[in-house]
């Protein structure tokens, strides 16, 4: 792209003048960001056009990854890395008096997702482009992404995330590619030449305008598209109500609200009308636009499954199924059976959860009014599915009601997704087994060939090369650069895991990352951190099943011991938390408050604060994750076994050489298989043990409170004013959840095992060479968790595609 530093500097300065009318001397960091961003975007534009032309000429099968969430983060650093200009630009900017790291801070995070599910979609886009697959994202261009979190007096306060305020360098508005989406109205049946035609009358039209973001593949000129849809009013609609211009303004405002906010609920179903509108808006726009591209090939729609794959990320985009049916039947004239065959062969579905509170079900009354034709089709799908079931299980009405797509006046989206697709995958081996054996067992009995596992992954380009450049360099110096395109080769580090000089460099890098995070913490909290302490980190969404409560109760216990036992000797420990709670999740917000109370007491107590500190870092996001994870010594992955489908945070930490303290849950199980249980700290109930307790009803948390003094002490501290509870009964709700309401997440049951695992960490960390060996082995065995591996599996097993362009090897 730029031959050398001098060409870069002169092109850059020319752009500064032409784009902003500023000479270098007057440029701010923000100016540098905007100009640099636009230069990279324009440069990628060439390859973007060439890629699209190639897809068309070769008639490559196109994958469309539908997701209500893409948690992208910042793009400047990642794009510079992928076009292989990161070093040159960093050095050139330094010559001009700017730090690339500071310039990168000018970019707003694209926070168009809640957590793991949205981040997975973003990692997948990076892998699709980097491996040279024709695979694109389809989503919504929310005007406001996930809320910004402030902590005020220890409580979470939410601010709107105005991420577009300063413009978005990466997107291109494409009004020429707009489509129309229809809501409300009524379906009329007309008979034409003996065929029924369904026409929706009096519908409300919404214009969907795409904003395209180029997704640049690493090291080669392959660029895919993330197409994000924005809702706009249809100007001509004002002609429908000529006498009432105010009516038009109301309509206009209601349309714009469709793409205004991301719903901030993670692993929680919200049955709001606006959310349903968002789902159909995205599905209809994405399907129409993909079919328009397909149409240009001039092929029969019979060939659609050979040329197009629609993947739905969780059930949020399930309406892709009836929408494709509608278009095939009502617009393309197909009969039901052919349309159904084409649709099911085109669509595939990923399940992300077994939590019942997260399973989407929409009231029939809501769907049938908002989307009358779509509802008719869902009804027909249900009717035919139930008829098939009746045939197969005569008289078994109970089973049929249990499996039906529509029951008890609700549409069950997971059932619709399974029935209407050819592939259903879980996201880790354990999760897929639980789906097959438990949650979806009757569906597995019906369609065993549809179920498969695709263990999640993370892009090692963002999470290792970009977030931890020094470690990346050390790895390349040690084993060469083949690991970059074949991350499995990271395992070649195994041979140096005990090498003293390698270990020393590895530790120096971790130490440098810890110093950087310590500076961030000092800057943001005013409290100093000892970079020689163990950095013990739990960062993820706040949720009961993720058990931040177990972590903080154990911290309270450590404090109690330090206060009461002068002989108690621990390696200094810094506990770091980061977590957003859904704004309506009362219990989760109480836990944030508890963590902050504990942090403030401990950090101010001179008797312990040379050995123990606790921080809650506000506004956990992708860019904050990139600062925290490379600095972690210990990764907390402590969900109640059976509840975390996979986790991806766990993989990021592992890749950066942190040791995991974790339960046998989600992908932790496969991490343990890779690196060995000796190189992790595994504790607690197994998934089947949790299930047995639930079935037998025999768990008695109250007994643990009376038997275990450590537990009794911390539980009492939740309600009696003292070190952690600042007014009588401040944490009654947490206390009750544990003691009175049965401790749903087995926090107290796992407390003793967890404390023991932490004691083992304390012992292990004292043996620095052996700890380092374990850390190196974690990095070495993490290659399989690159999303490149995951995406190749999706490509081969589910989508039936091959790379259309290969890696650049240089």
Ligand X SMILES: *Cc1c(COP(=O)(O)O)cnc(C)c1O
Residues forming the active site: 352, 540-541, 546, 648, 652
Comparing CB distances to ligand X, the nearer of 385 and 620 is: 620
The total of other beta-carbon atoms located within 10 Å of residue 421's CB is 25
Where does this chain touch ligand X (CB under 6 A) — which range of 404-412, 496-504, 562-570, 647-655? 647-655
Q: Strand, coil or helix: what is 122? A: helix
Write down the least CB distance from residue 130 to ligand X, Å.
Answer: 18
- Supply the minimum distance, in Å, between the C-beta of residue 658 and ligand X: 12
What is the Cα Rg of the chain in Å? 27
Per the structure block, which two tokens stand in for 461? Answer: 């380009």
**Nearest distance in Å: CB 118, ligand X:** 8
Out of 41, 220, 326, 540, the residue judged to bind ligand X by CB under 6 A = 540
> d(Cα 14, Cα 38) in Å, to the nearest integer?
13
Residues of this chain, 516-535, that bind ligand X according to CB under 6 A: none
Shortest Cβ contact with ligand X: which residue? 649
Residue 785 near residue 458, CB atoms below 8 Å = yes
- Closest distance to ligand X from the beta carbon of 243 (Å): 50
8 vs 70, beta carbon nearer ligand X: 70
Q: Which is nearer to ligand X, 382 or 425 (CB)?
A: 425
Q: Quick one: 70 or 334, whose CB is closer to ligand X?
A: 70
- Minimum distance of ligand X from residue 165's CB (angstroms): 21
Q: Quick one: 590 or 643, whose CB is closer to ligand X?
A: 643
Q: Using CB under 6 A, which of the segments 400-408, 648-656, 709-717, 788-796 binds ligand X?
A: 648-656
Give the binding range for ligand X (CB under 6 A) out of 595-603, 617-625, 686-694, 727-735.
617-625
CA atoms within 13 A on the CB side of 151: 25
The residues in 67-126 that bind ligand X, with binding defined as CB under 6 A, are 115-116, 119
Residue 220 or 541: the one with the smaller Cβ distance to ligand X is: 541
**Count of residues near ligand X by CB under 6 A:** 13
**Applying CB under 6 A, does 622 fall inside the site for ligand X?**
yes
Q: What is the DSSP letter of 237?
A: G
Q: How far is the CB of 676 from ligand X (least distance, A)?
A: 22
Q: Which of 621, 663, 668, 782: binder of ligand X (CB under 6 A)?
A: 621
Burial of 83 (0-12, 13-18, 19+ CB in 10 A): buried
Candidates 669, 594, 478; CA nearest to 154 is: 594
Cα–Cα distance, 514 to 529 (Å, whole number)? 9
Contact between 537 and ligand X (CB under 6 A)?
no
Contacts of 395 (CB under 8 A, 6+ apart): none
**DSSP conformation letters of 352-399:** ----GGG--EEEHHHHHHHSHHHHHHHHHHHHHHHHHHHHHSTT-HHH
Min dist CB 69 to ligand X, Å, is 11
Part of the chain binding ligand X (CB under 6 A), chosen from 3-11, 527-535, 565-573, 619-627: 619-627
d(CA 668, CA 414): 25
Asked if residue 527 lies in contact with residue 621, where contact means CB atoms within 8 angstroms, the answer is no
For tokens 């031959």, what's the residue?
3
Q: Name which position in 560, 603, 648, 679 contacts ligand X (CB under 6 A).
A: 648
- Neighbouring CB atoms inside 10 A of 474's CB total 18
Nearest to 616 by CA among 642, 581, 653, 654: 581
Query: E strand or H helix at 520, and its extent?
Result: helix 500-525
Dihedrals phi, psi of 335, to nearest 5 degrees: -80, 170
Question: Closer to ligand X at the Cβ: 284 or 621?
Answer: 621
Q: What's the CA gap between 636 and 414, in Å, rounded?
A: 30
**Which residues lie closer than 8 Å to 656 by C-beta, 6 or more apart?**
463, 464, 467, 468, 471, 629, 630, 632, 779
- Scanning 605-708, the segments in alpha helix (DSSP H) are 622-628, 649-655, 668-675, 687-696, 701-707
The helix/strand/coil state of 137 is strand
Name the helix (H) or strand (E) containing 751: helix 751-766
| Cα 408 to Cα 441, 470, 697, distances in angstroms | 21, 57, 28
DSSP at 30: H
- Residue 113: both structure tokens together: 């997702």
Give the residue with the Cβ less far from ligand X, 103 or 617. 617
Q: Which stretch binds ligand X (CB under 6 A): 423-431, 645-653, 672-680, 730-738?
A: 645-653
Whichever of 255 and 645 has its CB closer to ligand X, that residue is: 645
645 binds ligand X (CB under 6 A): no
Kindly tell me which residue out of 210, 649, 657, 803 binds ligand X, with binding defined by CB under 6 A: 649
Interactions with ligand X, residue window 135-194 (CB under 6 A) = none
Question: How is residue 680 written in tokens?
Answer: 């992790």
The residue among 115 and 322 lying less far from ligand X, judged by its C-beta, is 115
Cα–Cα distances in angstroms (integers) from residue 720 to residues 563, 717, 726, 737, in the given order = 18, 5, 8, 16
**What is the nearest approach in angstroms of ligand X to the Cβ of residue 122?**
9
Q: How far is the CB of 656 from ligand X (least distance, A)?
A: 12
Q: Does 647 contact ligand X by CB under 6 A?
A: yes
Site for ligand X in 650-669 (CB under 6 A): 652
- Using CB under 6 A as the binding rule, whether residue 643 contacts ligand X is answered as no
Specify the stretch interacting with ligand X by CB under 6 A; choose among 199-207, 494-502, 600-608, 644-652. Answer: 644-652
Give the shortest CB-271-to-ligand X separation in angstroms: 24
Q: Which stretch binds ligand X (CB under 6 A): 39-47, 618-626, 680-688, 790-798?
A: 618-626
Distance in Å, CB of 614 to ligand X, minimum? 19
CB nearer ligand X, residue 603 or residue 660: 660
Contact set with ligand X (CB under 6 A): 115-116, 119, 540-541, 620-622, 625, 647-649, 652
């Amino acid at each position: 792209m730029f031959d050398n530093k001098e060409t870069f500097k002169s092109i850059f300065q020319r752009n500064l003048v032409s784009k902003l009318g500023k000479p270098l001397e007057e440029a701010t960091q923000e100016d540098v960001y905007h100009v640099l961003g636009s230069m990279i975007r324009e440069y990628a534009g060439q390859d973007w056009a060439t890629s699209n032309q190639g897809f068309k000429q070769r008639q490559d099968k196109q994958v469309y990854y539908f997701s209500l969430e893409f948690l992208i983060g910042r793009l400047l650093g990642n794009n510079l890395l992928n076009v292989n200009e990161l070093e040159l630009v960093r050095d050139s900017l330094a010559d001009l008096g700017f730090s690339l790291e500071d310039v990168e801070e000018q970019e707003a995070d694209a926070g168009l997702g809640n957590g793991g599910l949205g981040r997975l979609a973003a990692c997948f886009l990076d892998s699709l482009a980097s491996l040279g697959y024709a695979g694109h994202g389809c989503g919504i261009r929310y005007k406001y992404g996930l809320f910004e979190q402030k902590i005020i007096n220890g409580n979470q306060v939410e601010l709107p995330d105005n991420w577009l305020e300063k413009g978005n360098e990466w997107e291109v508005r494409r009004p020429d590619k707009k489509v129309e989406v229809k809501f409300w109205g009524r379906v009329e049946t007309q008979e034409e030449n003996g065929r029924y035609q369904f026409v929706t009358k009096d519908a409300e039209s919404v214009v969907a305008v795409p904003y395209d973001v180029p997704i640049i593949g690493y090291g080669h000129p392959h660029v895919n598209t993330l197409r994000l849809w924005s809702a706009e009013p249809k100007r001509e609609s004002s002609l429908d109500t000529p006498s009432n211009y105010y009516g038009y303004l109301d309509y206009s405002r209601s349309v714009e609200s469709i793409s205004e906010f991301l719903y901030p609920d993670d692993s929680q179903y919200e049955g709001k009308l606006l959310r349903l509108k968002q789902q159909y808006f995205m599905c209809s726009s994405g399907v129409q636009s993909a079919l328009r591209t397909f149409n240009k090939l001039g092929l029969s729609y019979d060939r659609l499954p050979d040329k197009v794959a629609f993947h739905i990320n969780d059930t949020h985009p399930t309406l892709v199924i009836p929408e494709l049916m509608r278009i095939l039947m009502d617009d393309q004239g197909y009969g039901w059976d052919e349309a159904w065959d084409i649709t099911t062969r085109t669509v595939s579905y990923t399940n992300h959860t077994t939590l019942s509170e997260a399973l989407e079900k929409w009231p029939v009354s809501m769907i049938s009014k908002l989307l009358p034709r779509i509802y008719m089709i869902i009804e027909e799908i249900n009717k035919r599915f139930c008829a098939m079931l009746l045939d197969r299980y005569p008289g078994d009405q109970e089973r049929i009601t249990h499996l039906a797509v529509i029951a008890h006046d609700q549409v069950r989206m997971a059932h619709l997704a399974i029935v209407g697709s050819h592939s259903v995958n879980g996201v880790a081996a354990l999760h897929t087994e639980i789906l097959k054996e438990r949650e979806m067992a009757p569906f597995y009995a019906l369609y065993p060939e549809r179920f498969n596992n695709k263990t999640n992954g993370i892009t090692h380009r963002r999470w290792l090369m970009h977030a931890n450049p020094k470690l990346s360099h050390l790895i390349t110096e040690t084993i060469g650069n083949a690991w970059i395109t074949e991350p499995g080769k990271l395992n070649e580090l195994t041979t140096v895991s005990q090498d003293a000089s390698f270990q020393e460099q590895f530790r120096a890098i971790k130490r440098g990352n810890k110093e950087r995070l310590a500076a961030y913490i000092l800057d943001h909290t005013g409290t100093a951190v000892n970079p020689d302490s163990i950095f013990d980190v739990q960062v993820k969404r706040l949720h009961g099943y993720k058990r931040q409560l177990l972590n903080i109760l154990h911290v309270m216990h450590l404090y109690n011991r330090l206060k009461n036992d002068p002989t108690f000797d621990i390696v200094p420990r810094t506990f770091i938390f980061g977590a957003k709670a859904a704004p309506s999740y009362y219990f989760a917000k109480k836990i944030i408050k508890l963590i902050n109370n504990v942090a403030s007491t401990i950090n101010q107590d001179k008797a312990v604060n040379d050995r123990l500190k606790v921080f809650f870092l506000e506004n956990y996001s992708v860019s904050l994750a990139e600062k925290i994870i490379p600095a972690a010594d210990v990764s907390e992955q402590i969900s109640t076994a059976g509840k975390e489908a996979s986790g991806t945070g766990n993989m990021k930490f592992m890749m950066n050489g942190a040791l995991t303290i974790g339960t046998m849950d989600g992908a932790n199980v496969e991490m343990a298989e890779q690196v060995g249980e000796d190189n992790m700290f595994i504790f607690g109930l197994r998934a089947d043990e949790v299930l047995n307790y639930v079935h037998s009803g025999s768990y008695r948390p109250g007994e643990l409170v009376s038997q275990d003094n450590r537990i009794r002490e911390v539980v009492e501290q939740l309600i009696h004013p003292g070190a952690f509870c600042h007014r009588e009964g401040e944490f009654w709700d947490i206390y009750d959840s544990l003691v009175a309401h049965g401790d749903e997440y087995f926090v107290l049951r796992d407390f003793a095992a967890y404390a023991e695992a932490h004691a083992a960490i304390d012992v292990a960390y004292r043996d620095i060479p052996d700890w380092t060996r374990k850390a190196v082995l974690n990095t070495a065995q993490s290659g399989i968790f690159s999303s490149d591996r995951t995406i190749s599996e999706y490509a081969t097993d589910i989508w039936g595609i091959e790379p259309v362009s290969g890696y650049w090897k240089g």
